Amino acid sequence: MKKLIIIPLILMLSGCGFMNRFVPVPPPAWPSVPSTLTERCPDLKTIEGNEVAITELLKAVVDNYNLYYLCQLKNDGWNEWYKTQQKIYEDFRNKSKK
């Protein structure tokens, strides 16, 4: 009785693998980019005038450093996201070709 169940099961499982070779599976759509990674970096702050207090100058420098490093983190996040999605996509395509 067990042989009668095992034989059709083996034929069904091998048939699924056999059909995958002839039925192409289209690659998945490329994922959309998270909106936080597509925002533009803010402009750096400038100081107007010829005579500026040192405290105002230092405040602008500190603010610009903060803006730069936040933008750098966003850019690094974008690059990491893109590389991860590309690897997932390529792995899937390679598996679907086999």
Is pTM beyond 0.85? Reply is: no
pLDDT of residue 16: 55
Tally the domains of the chain.
1
Tens digit of pLDDT at every position of the chain (98 positions): 566 677 776 766 665 555 555 666 676 777 787 787 788 888 888 888 888 899 999 999 999 999 999 999 989 988 998 899 889 888 887 877 66
Residue 46, CA distances (Å) to 49, 57, 60, 62, 66 in order:
10, 9, 7, 12, 14
pLDDT of residue 5: 73
pLDDT of residue 33: 79
d(CA 24, CA 62): 56
Which structural domain, as residue segments, surrounds residue 64? 2-97
